[in-house]
Amino acid sequence: MTLKLSPEERAMAAGEAGPGVRKAMEIVTALGRIYGAERLVSVESVQVAGVSYRNLGEAGLEFLSDWADQGAEVRVPTTLNPAGMDLAAWRELGFSALFAEHQLAVIDAFERLGVRPTCTCTPYLVGNVPETGQHVAWAESSAVSYANAVLGARTNREGGPSALAAAITGRTAAYGLHLDPNRRAGLVVDVHCPLKGLADFGALGYLVGRVARNRIPYFRGLTVPPADEALKVLGAAMAASGAVALYHVAGVTPEADRADVLLPDHQTLVIDDLAPAYQALNGRAREIDLAWFGCPHAGLPELREIRRLLDGRPVRSALWITLARQVRQEAGRQGVLEPLVASGARLVADMCAVVAPMEALGFRTVATPSAKGATYLPSHAGMVVRYGTIEQCVEAAVSGCWPA
């Protein structure tokens, strides 16, 4: 199968727009040929992963800097995944000056490429909301899931370099989830147990992801609250446990009611008990160093719920809520920020604990209602995790111990 390029794309590949654009086209077209794409498609926006210096290291920073030195610049709105620290408040949070120097150099390289330094895994909460059917090139697993499933946009899970290449060329290869036939479900999930809160949706996602393993799930019997928080959590958990990049919920998500949404040879999974997920994600720590919310990054509904549960009580353990800087600003405007700060909560912008040097900050045990965070923190940050409801995690922050 031959990858056909338009005259403009051939010109970019030939270097007529400069060496940086040529390098980007080499990446985009190489992936297209590997995956058998016949053409490229224009993308409306890009979200780039590989932002934390903890993951990139010096080699990654040099790669980005060299690309920027070649004069490359993004052609479409482009934002970043979370970094390894709050870009402004890193000192007071305990990050070292050496790590901050390297992390800020990474952000500078991205800015020289024309990328907006909006570091969040929830770009759809800060204005980047693609329409149903639009092609985008997003990289972060939970954002990809949300874009495909909840918004009905079209994106594969891009790697950091391929997402940046898509931003510089304004193109990505038309394969995978960009194509209709590849968006059909191969696993029907019948949910026969009640879901009482966001942690239950995370537990459900964890269980389904382990079985799905790249198949697209189709949920039946799933009652979803009016807000999209539950779908954000569900998709993030499936992405973490099974690399699920698209799912459908009957009567809820944009493509769920397509006549051909199910593959003829689909299998069925019945979920009637969430206990196995809680057991798998929950460690045995009693004392809690950190209660962490905001994986994926928190929105205003989650902030309001944490404020309600704290009810003005001071915290004994550290309580961090990671979120986009713009969401934090909006929380301040709406009067949500001040009560949280008064209780001792830290609203930490720009970063995610999974990609931050948490071990250097002295945190060893964490309570979180995030199934994605609970999946990754033991291996990525060496932390012992207690996974539970928002209520349990708030109580852990207030008392310093996991509630009995």
Q: Is 214 helix (H, G, I), strand (E, B) or coil?
A: coil
Structure tokens of 192?
Answer: 């026969």
By C-alpha distance, which of 110, 18, 144 is closest to 70?
18
Taking CA 295 as the corner, what is the angle to CA 132 and CA 83, rounded to the nearest 5 degrees? Answer: 95
Specify the pLDDT at position 246.
98
Query: From edge to edge, which strands make up the β-sheet containing 262-271?
Result: 248-249, 217-220, 185-191, 262-271
Q: Is the dihedral of CA 389, 395, 400, 404 positive or negative?
A: negative
Would you write out the chain's pLDDT as a tens digit for each of its 404 residues?
Answer: 699 999 999 999 999 999 999 999 999 999 999 999 999 999 999 999 999 999 999 999 999 999 999 999 999 999 999 999 999 999 999 999 999 999 999 999 999 999 999 999 999 999 999 999 999 999 999 999 999 999 999 999 999 999 999 999 999 999 999 999 999 999 999 999 999 999 999 999 999 999 998 799 999 999 998 778 999 999 999 999 999 999 999 999 999 999 999 999 999 999 999 999 999 999 999 999 999 999 999 999 999 999 999 999 999 999 999 999 999 999 999 999 999 999 999 999 999 999 999 999 999 999 999 999 999 999 988 899 999 999 999 999 999 999 98
Integer Cα distance of 285 and 259 in angstroms: 48
pLDDT in the model for residue 244: 97
pLDDT the model gives residue 227: 74
Predicted pLDDT of residue 1: 67
Q: What is the pLDDT of residue 404?
A: 83
Q: What share of the chain is helix, strand, coil (3-state, %, to 5)?
A: 45, 15, 40
| Rounded Cα distance, 290 and 284, in Å | 15
CA 401 – CA 404 distance, rounded (Å): 9
Angle of helix 229-242 relative to helix 371-381, nearest 10 degrees, comes to 40
Pick from 26, 1, 48: nearest CA to 163: 48
Tokens encoding 60 = 């990654």
Q: What is the predicted pLDDT for the residue at 233?
A: 97
- Residue 228's pLDDT is 80
Distance separating alpha carbons of residues 279 and 96, to the nearest angstrom: 35
Torsion angle of C-alpha atoms 84, 90, 95, 98, degrees rounded to 10: 80
Q: Are 64 and 106 in contact (CB under 8 A)?
A: yes
Q: What is the DSSP string of 328-389?
A: HHHHHHTT-HHHHHHHTEEEEESB-GGGS-GGGGT--EEEES-HHHHHHHHHHH--EEEE--
Q: What is the largest CA-CA distance in the chain?
A: 66
- How far is the first Cα of the chain from the last one, in angstroms, to the nearest whole number? 60
